[in-house]
Structure 1
Amino acid sequence: MCTSPNIPERRKTPPLRGRLVKWEYTNAVSKITLSVCLADDGIVRVTYFTGPVPEDEPSYAVSPGYSAPGAEVREYDEAGVHVIETSLLRIRIRTEEQKVDFYDIVTDEPLLADEGGFGRESKDWTGDARVWIRKRLQDTEHFFGLGDKPCALNLRGKYFSMWGADHYDFHEESDPLYKSVPFFLSLREGKAYGLLFDNTCRSYFDFGASDEKVLAFGSFGGLMNYYFIYDRSPLDIVAAYTRLTGTPELPPLWALGYHQSKWSYYPDKAVYNLVERFRDLGIPCDAVHLDHHYMEQKEGFTWDRHNFPDAAGMVRSLEEDGVKTVLIVNPGVKINPANPVWAEGLERNYFCRRSEGNLLSEEVWPGLCNFPDFTAPAVRSWWADLFRHDLEEVGVRGLWNDMNEPVVFPDRTFPMDTRHEYDGMPCSHEKAHNIYGQCMAEASWLGMKRHAPDRRPFLLSRSGFAGLQRFAATWTGDNRSSWEHLKLANFQCQRLAASGISFAGADAGGFMGHPTPELFCRWMQMAAFHGLFRNHSSGEFGGQEPWVFGQEATAYVKAAIEGRYRLLPYIYTQFRRYAETGMPVLRSLALQCFRNRDTYWRGAEYFFGDHLYVIPIHEPQEGGRFLYIPEGVWYSYHTDSLMEDTGKDVWVKCPLSFLPVYVRGGAVIPHWPVQQHAGELPRPPLTLDVWWAPDEEVASHLYEDAGDGYAYRNGECAVHEFLYRGTGSHSLELAWKCEGDPCAFHESAEVVLHGLPAGIALSAHMDGVPCRGVARDGRVWRIPVEGKFETLSACWTEE
């Protein structure tokens, strides 16, 4: 084994850098110091340090790349109160009581105010301490976020724990679950704020469950350390939180395609046959995931030479067919002197130890294992280099981290006296548990960056903490093939997006059990509008490939997958915005329409990017249902039917062939033709579909690049902006601006107009020149584009 010398730096304290403005208030009796630190006009760090010397901690949540932009402040004193003002906030600090209250700068409305304030309780016999804070809970306040909690979206009146746990066959009230993302949003009467509790110990959030007048949160150890985040809308707050905790890299285009997975596909003949069946049926697929049966006796970093005699040849063959290979990797390293990974880890003292110095040894899939301490930079670097063979020589394109809550058999975690380096501040597992999986994800991500430097990494991690999106996509864990779990998957993916993690999905169709054809269709239709589109199941219940549920189901599922591939330029554009600004891809109805309090209790509906509105079906045989249509101009994405009633509930038919999906009038939705895998067509023809809205003005975007690699960072990309203007009942205009070569990534383009009146004669001009080839095609009008235009105008008269 060989470890590269470039060991990652330790996380540093304080976690925030940049143009910071900071105040400290120390109580002479308790020796507690309250620290208030402004990162920008709307982000405030509040920390309570105990003891005579304030000692900060490294942050696993705040991105090392975040640099605070700072804020212009005005400050003054009132009776016993120090007041700090920014362009967004008025912060009143009751200095003697060490309480912090936040107000809107314009209206002076209270946003979040201390009730009981900060509290701390020590255990004399151990020196451990529990810390908490109590805030006033306002009557009209509602809460969202907290990662992968499987309950309804609105958290008001509920209590939750943060302690990563493998909850096999979880249900609506299961808590805790795989991920610990201690960030929530508050929505109230057109106001919103976010709060990140940056503490890795076991923690809790009480949204009025114990006392309907009190919002409380705390932890069983560590610092009371939270970030208050304020902006003008919930989506802007989520974006700010995501920038604070780190935006992800733009994923490779293929990773946004369809993934097929099962526990497990083996031997190699089964994998070849799987891919051949996809191609024979013309069903698009970009990735196959191999569970741990590809390994020798389930030992990581090995291949079963009997079942996979030529792993590199198989991976190369799949790649030639447009299919990428993704491998599962678990943290446990089998105790096996013949295995060089275990031998080197032992020699370098990279495995976790108990409080008395003995190695932590527990059973997982390979048998008795030791476990790397991923909280140590040297261990993360060593782990990264273990992927050299699979990434450089075998040609694997993605990694899949599982069992990293961490979990050991039977269904428990490490003993609490397990020791961890914690980036230079050694601690027990009580403090490191919630970030163990994220540190493993960071180490695996580093391996991909180091050993496949010309490719963008694709990594899945089941567990994580705030900031997981910096390293990995995620899925919702071991679900079941049931209508209840379809609904929970909808809630969880929306909640993860509101918690900064848009590249998320569920095991479509369910991991355990076997879905009915109807359930499978509905789940796959929904998953086509999630960040991650992966069908994963346990083989003990039978196959769950797209073709196993009969001809009708196969046709509908194929159509859903093909729809995903037609939408790839739109999805890729939304992910580019997410990577650049932190704006979530999935947007719950309540977050988008937050001024409408009636939306706070709705959970089925969500926005997919800027202009699509998706309503999954949660019940069997639901041929029609009432659903909420937002205000504005909306069309059926599938039929072009104009929704006559908006801003209210309407009844719609829900045929099994497709989900209710709506598109905003005036939107420009880019489409490609169906491809069997992303990149099958090097420069796919581009269709710009536009839906008429007589009096609207709507901005839309398109981002294009090579789909992988980093040439886009050197300007090899095209950033398009479209501005639609409805100019009356008989005309429209479309302006097109572009940074970069507008035709570099598509061979041709056309504009397709939807929703125009029947029985018209249409003429169009591009930059004042009459368009040639304008033609009606059923219910749409097609306008060929030669190169690029600056302004397209269309007008029509009744025939």
Structure 2
Amino acid sequence: MKTLCLLLAVSLMVGVAVGVDRNNFKTCEQSGFCKRLRPYKPEKSQYVLNIDTVIVHGNALSAEVNTIDAESESKNVIWKYALKLSALLDGTFRIEIDEAEPLYPRYRTQLALDGEPKGDKLTLISNESGKLTLSNAQGHHVIITVEPLKFEFTDRAGEVAVVVNDNGQLVVEPLKTKVEGEDEDAGGENFKGHHDSKPRGNEALSIDIAFPEAEQIYGIPEHTDNFYLKTTTGGEPYRLYNLDVFEFELDSRMALYGAVPVLYSHGPKRSAGVFWHNSAETWVDVVNHAENTVVSSLVNLVTGGQKKQIDARFMSESGIVDLFVFLGDTPSDVFRQYTALTGVAPLPPRFSLAYHQSRWNYVDEADVRQVDDNFDAHDLPADVLWLDIEYTDQKKYFTWDPIKFAHPTEMVANLTAKGRKLVVIIDPHIKREAGYFLHDDATEMGLYVKNKDGKDYEGWCWPGSSSYLDFFDPEASKYYSERYKFENFPGTSKDVHIWNDMNEPSVFNGPEITMPKDARHYKTPEDGQDGLASYWEHRHIHNEYGLWHIRATHDGMLLRTNNQYRPFILTRSTFAGTQRYAAMWTGDNMAEWGFLRASVRQCLSVATAGISFCGSDVGGFFKYPEAELMTRWYQAGAYQAFFRAHSHIETKRREPWLYDSTTLSRIRDALRRRYVLLDFWYTLFYEHTIDGLPVTRPLFQEYPKELETYTIDEAYLLGDKLLISPVMEAGVTSVKVYLPGRESNTRWYDVDSYQTYEANGYMNVDVNINKVPVYQRGGTIVPRKERVRRSSQLMVNDPYTLIVALDANNTATGSLYIDDGETFDYKSNNYIYAKITYDSVKLSYKFVNTKATYPTKSWLERVVIAGIKSAPRAATLRSGAKSTPLQMTLHRGNDVLVIRKPAASMAQEWEIEFTY
């Protein structure tokens, strides 16, 4: 019977693409706590601040909050809660509400934050008329209404930017000793034959947040709906619950592989945001009062006009109220405030920004060798080949198939000789097979997640009967990390990197294809705690599980090289903080135009939620992309941070050379476009480590006053320099492209022709199958390397071309980052970070940190200055004590000046002076 169950599960996973089976996943009505909380109205309970308990010290206010019997004249206290309001650096506040004396400890999310947030000064300004007013050092105010409890946060202009509990929907269900039948579902819940015992009973919570004057709201990835969030009244809320959704559908609020509970609001006046620090299943309702809905119509009737406000409400199954509030003022401010809490992506190894070739599965070493050789034979650059689960010995991780992959060391060496790398998959499910070292060790050492009865949890995944390492146990994480040591994983080297898939976790025969909520996880032992207090349930930590998995992988990858080399890890499950350890992709998409379009909005959403290193499977995982779709997907993928082609085991092979020669040529062109800009990408990711801003940016981030940009989610910016508008429809000969920046008189330059366009909103652009609308902003300088070779490693010492696109003032600025591309030596000042400026008199290349140096052999081969109206008579390179006259060519047709072979070393500062 178990074998039959596995075969049925696998057949579902690899069968013909027919669309998601919604019956496998809960609706709000089927999720006990969502059904309970969503209809909640404030008259059912009331939260009141006990003013006599307020203490303000340092950066925090602490006080007692009571729920009272609103129907009683004496207003008897029903329950007591502990409130803490903290002021944090950079215009951020934190609200924490926990039970004052919980029956058991309530779970606090552990791994999302990048260390303890740094405090700011909090000052009590006034205490009168049932309100407390406090301020931070930056001039933001917090007004706390005592009864009913409400928090109003003002911007620096004194206007209310965020209101917490505006609608009185704060709920924290207290933990109680279970009494059979006392609550509707406290005794347990059933779904599709699965029973959740709910040993602690009900412990859900909710809170509502209002954003006055907001036009749009964004965030809470991962979904396939628009980047901007829509009103959920009359439909399902957005769901945050990491799930393996087979053949996920488009334009949906259903849960997917990732759950990042951060929201941003934006309007012409300001940006603001909140981060709901909670790792349990969560549903989010949104009401945009400006939308034409029944709710907004009723509000307008009562208020006498249109209410310009967006309301959001988080409902989670467990945890505490732990809400961070970001007070902007701009989109860049709130994005930075979030990454200040959850961390930035570390500088990735340079190769990881190049092209990756994958398939489930390259069948053996000969297949890998043939694919590798074909990239060279067809003059296609590639940096990484990938191996899916079939490379292992019968789905046992940290092993190799003894027949198909009998010589992994030699296979890896063949790749690295060409500057290429290998990525192999390691999933969290462990095959339950006696004699398999990992299973035997985990069983003996007690490292597996436990079921509700305290025995090793057993589910079904690719290997068949499987158990799952409990990464919350420090010993389990340590043991797992040590498996990555070269002596423990023979055949690997520093050039073998890791793919962590199925880590939601995916369990084929589990409720909603995941782990039961009453499964048990390790909890740090505390004195006097046993029974329910001695472990966490999976319901508490579900959305965090994949984060603990990739952290342990990251630790292991560092351990194997004594912290010398930067690892690359790809994860499917994502949560707040994922960016500190791994890149992500959008999962098992389909070879359809709609999924190509969705990839842009999905990656925009996760980028603003801290995870810039995002991409989608080029060509689609399921089905087969015909030539036009494949061409357009490569063209789009070339401008997404993670650039990988991947496909299902049962699909027709689709390596580029298997298409007709014309399509192959177009794919080659797309790949070359990526490699030409690799150093630009690398510089953007370095700058992200400094400023925490997204690498991939929505247009409204750089143009926050332009209302048209607020709902554009099929075009985007790379940094503040390139605008990308991929062609994502079949058979089109023209597309609409929005060029922002009217108020600032911004110029845009077509990167192919250097033709200049003044920002004036939408314009129609003629396209053929070879054309991708990409524009460089006037006032910027973009570095390129135009000698594309078989891999990025072979281009390290190649020369640079600088594309200088002038603004209306004939000026431009840019930057360039250079290091060895793979080690942590840059942390010891072994790097170059240069600012490049042009002001018509000179072009200068200056180091930001003059103590940092790197002996690059790269040099300056060419300078292209676009938009030049008055050409200089002469140009002179000044480098050190040397002065060298330079040759120039002016192209009058498009106002482009080309300086050829300045031959300036990028290892030292220089200037090119112009004489008129």
Instruction: Calculate the TM-score normalised by the size of structure 2.
Output: 0.81
Greater alpha carbon shift after TM alignment, 696-705 vs 113-122: 113-122
Would you say 1:162 and 2:240 are equivalent positions?
Answer: yes
The one of 144, 150, 155 equivalent to 1:99 is: 150
1:58 positional shift:
4.4
Provide the residue aligned with 2:209 in structure 1: 135
Q: Match of 1:550?
A: 660
Q: Distance in 1 between matches of 2:821 and 2:656?
A: 26
Distance 1:423 1:655 in 2: 61
Q: Does the CA contact (< 8 Å) of 1:66 and 1:245 recur in 2? A: no
* Rounded Cα–Cα distance in structure 2 between residues aligned with 1:355 and 1:625: 56
Equivalent position SS for 2:794: coil
- 2:332 counterpart of 1:235: yes
RMSD (Å) for aligned C-alpha atoms: 2.4
Select the residue among 504, 519, 544 that pairs with 1:405.
Answer: 504
For each residue in 1:88-133, what CA deviation from the matched residue of structure 2 results, as whole angstroms up to 9, or x when unmatched? 5211111343321111122424333531332234556554222111
Does the 8 A contact of 2:284 with 2:315 survive in 1?
yes
Question: Where does residue 672 of structure 2 map in the other structure?
Answer: 562
1:303 corresponds in structure 2 to 400
User: Any conservation in 2 of the 1:391–1:451 contact (CA below 8 Å)?
Assistant: no
Does structure 1 residue 637 correspond to structure 2 residue 751?
A: yes
The letter of the residue matching 1:130 is: A
Aligned to 2:125: 75
Q: Distance in 2 between matches of 1:188 and 1:250?
A: 32
| Residue 533 of structure 1: aligned partner | 643
Instruction: Report the alpha carbon displacement of residue 668 of structure 1 after superposing the two structures with TM.
Output: 1.2
Asked if the contact 1:569/1:702 (under 8 Å) is kept, the reply is: yes
Aligned to 1:745: 856
- Are the counterparts in 2 of residues 497 and 584 from structure 1 also a CA contact under 8 Å? yes
What is the aligned partner in structure 1 of residue 31 from structure 2?
A: none
Match of 2:556 among 430, 442, 447: 447
Q: 1:20 to 1:442 in 2, by over 3 A?
A: farther
Stretch moving more, 101-110 or 613-622: 101-110
3-state secondary structure, aligned to 2:557: helix
Residue 206 (str. 1) matches residue 258 (str. 2):
no
Q: Is the 8 A contact 1:626 1:650 kept in 2?
A: yes
**Residue identity matched to 2:763:** V
Question: How big is each residue's C-alpha offset from its partner over 1:208-264, in whole Å with a ceiling of 9 and x where there is no partner?
Answer: 189556421121111111111122321221122112112222111011110000000
**What residue number does 1:695 align with?**
809
1:512 aligns with 2:622: yes
Amino acid in structure 1 at the alignment position of 2:259: S
1:582-620, Cα deviation, whole Å (9 max, x unpaired): 111000113332221221121111001220110011211
Partner of 1:653: 766
Residue 25 of structure 1, aligned match among 51, 63, 71? 63
Counterpart amino acid of 2:752? H
Match of 1:185 among 253, 264, 288: 264
Map 1:695-734 to 2 at 5 A: 695=809, 697-725=811-839, 731-734=840-843
> Which residue pairs with 2:865 in the alignment?
754
Deviations 1:504-523 (A, max 9, x none): 11101100011111111111
Taking the aligned partners of 1:392 and 1:724, their CA distance within structure 2 comes to 52
1:384 to 481, 487, 490: 481
Q: Secondary structure at the match of 1:656?
A: coil
CA drift at 1:393:
4.8
Q: Deviations over 1:138-165 (max 9, x none)?
A: 4643111122211111103132111101
Partners of 1:429 and 1:380 in 2: how far apart?
A: 17
Whole-angstrom distance in 2 between the partners of 1:41 and 1:786: 41
Match of residue 23 from structure 2: none
Match of 2:92 in 1: 43
Describe the superposition over 1:281-304 as per-residue Cα deviations: whole angstroms up to 9, x where unpaired.
221111111001101112211110
1:394 aligns with 2:492: yes
Alignment of 1:148-297 (within 5 A): 148-158=222-232, 159-172=237-250, 173=252, 175-208=254-287, 212=296, 214-297=311-394
Does structure 1 retain, via aligned residues, the 8 Å contact 2:106–2:319? Answer: no
- For residues 823 and 524 of structure 2, the distance between their equivalents in structure 1, rounded to whole angstroms, comes to 31
> For residues 532 and 682 of structure 1, what CA distance do their matches in structure 2 show?
20
Choose from 405, 411, 419 the match for 2:520.
Answer: 419
Residue pairs, 1:306-321, within 5 angstroms: 306-321=403-418
Deviations 1:54-105 (A, max 9, x none): 9675433543435515347563334222112231521111134332111112
For 2:358, what is the secondary structure of its paired residue?
Answer: strand
Gap change, CA 1:145 and 1:637, over 3 Å in 2: same
Which ranges of structure 1 fall in alignment gaps of 5 or more residues?
1-18, 726-730
Partner residue in 2 for 1:772? 885
Change (3 A) 1:392 1:457: farther
What is the alpha-carbon distance in structure 1 between the residues aligned to residue 796 and residue 653 of structure 2? 33
- Which residue is equivalent to 2:172? 120
Does structure 1 retain, via aligned residues, the 8 Å contact 2:877–2:886?
no
- Could you say if the C-alpha distance between residues 113 and 443 of structure 1 is closer, same or farther in structure 2, counting changes exceeding 3 Å? closer
Listed one character per residue, the Cα deviations across residues 297-348 of structure 1 (whole Å, up to 9, x for unaligned) are 1221111010011111111111112111111111111111111110000000
1:767 deviation in Å? 5.3
Q: Is the 2:114–2:341 Cα contact (8 Å) retained in structure 1? A: no
Q: How far off is 1:275 after superposition?
A: 0.4
Rounded to whole Å, the distance in 2 between the matches of 1:476 and 1:761 is 49
Match of residue 792 from structure 1: 912
Instruction: Name the structure 1 match of 2:24.
Output: none
One-letter amino acid of the counterpart of residue 115, structure 2: G
Shift in CA distance, 36/555, structure 1 to aligned 2, threshold 3 Å: same
Tell me whether 102-111 or 281-290 shows the greater mean CA deviation: 102-111
Q: Find 2:775's aligned residue among 648, 653, 662.
A: 662
SS of the residue 1:110 aligns to: strand
| Segment drifting more, 647-656 vs 277-286 | 647-656
Equivalence for 1:111:
162
Identical amino acids, percent of aligned pairs? 26
**Does residue 462 in structure 1 map to residue 462 in structure 2?**
no
Q: Could you tell me which residue of structure 2 aligns to residue 323 of structure 1?
A: 420
Amino acid at match of 1:376: D
Deviation of 1:498 after TM superposition, in Å, equals 0.8
| Distance in structure 1 (CA, Å) of the matches to 2:815 and 2:215 | 34
- Secondary structure of the 2:564 match is coil
Cα offset for 1:765? 3.6
Aligned partners of 2:144 and 2:150 also within 8 Å: yes
Q: Structure 1 residue 570: deviation in Å?
A: 0.8
1:190 to partner: Cα distance: 3.3
Q: Match for 1:690: what amino acid? A: V
- How many residues are paired up? 772
Whether contact under 8 Å (1:20, 1:68) holds in the other structure is no
| CA–CA distance in structure 2, aligned partners of residues 107 and 700 of structure 1 | 36
How big is the shift at 1:352? Answer: 1.3
- AA in 1 matched with 2:275: L
Runs of at least 5 residues in structure 2 that lack an aligned partner in the other structure:
1-56, 67-76, 175-182, 188-199, 289-293, 297-309, 526-533
Between stretches 309-318 and 760-769, larger displacement belongs to: 760-769
- The residue number in structure 2 matching 1:428 is 537
Matched, 1:684 2:798: yes
Q: Normalized against structure 1, the TM-score is what?
A: 0.92
Amino acid at match of 1:35: K
Answer whether contact 1:491 1:603 (CA < 8 A) is retained: yes
**Matches of 1:488 and 1:439, distance apart in 2:** 28
Partner amino acid, structure 1, of 2:727:
I
AA at the equivalent of 1:652: V
Give the superposition deviation at 1:486.
0.1
Q: For residues 151-189 of structure 1, what are the alpha-carbon distances to aligned partners after superposition, in whole Å with 9 as ceiling and x for unaligned?
A: 111103132111101112212215100011111111122
- Answer whether contact 1:509 1:515 (CA < 8 A) is retained: yes
